[in-house]
Amino acid sequence: DAGITQSPRHKVTETGTPVTLRCHQTENHRYMYWYRQDPGHGLRLIHYSYGVKDTDKGEVSDGYSVSRSKTEDFLLTLESATSSQTSVYFCAITYDRNTEAFFGQGTRLTVV
Amino acid sequence: GEDVEQSLFLSVREGDSSVINCTYTDSSSTYLYWYKQEPGAGLQLLTYIFSNMDMKQDQRLTVLLNKKDKHLSLRIADTQTGDSAIYFCAEIKQAGTALIFGKGTTLSVSS
**A8-64 pLDDT, tens per residue?**
999 999 999 999 999 999 999 999 999 999 988 889 999 999 999 999 999 899 999
pLDDT tens-digit readout, B69-107:
999 999 999 999 999 999 999 988 766 678 889 999 999
A45/B98 Cβ within 8 A:
yes
User: Does B43 reach chain A within 8 Å, measured CB to CB?
Assistant: yes
Cβ-contact A76, A34 below 8 angstroms: yes
- What is the amino acid identity at position A49? S
User: Does A75 reach chain B within 8 Å, measured CB to CB?
Assistant: no
Nearest to B36 by CA among B20, B13, B25, B51: B20
Q: Which of residues 25-54 of A touch B (CB under 8 A)?
A: 31, 33, 35, 40-45, 48, 50
- What is the amino acid identity at position B77? A
User: Does B52 reach chain A within 8 Å, measured CB to CB?
Assistant: no
**3-state secondary structure labels for all residues of chain A:** CCCEEEECCEEEECCCCCEEEEEEECCCCCEEEEEEEECCCEEEEEEEEEECCEEEECCCCCCEEEEEEECCEEEEEECCCCHHHCEEEEEEEECCCCCCCEECCCEEEEEC
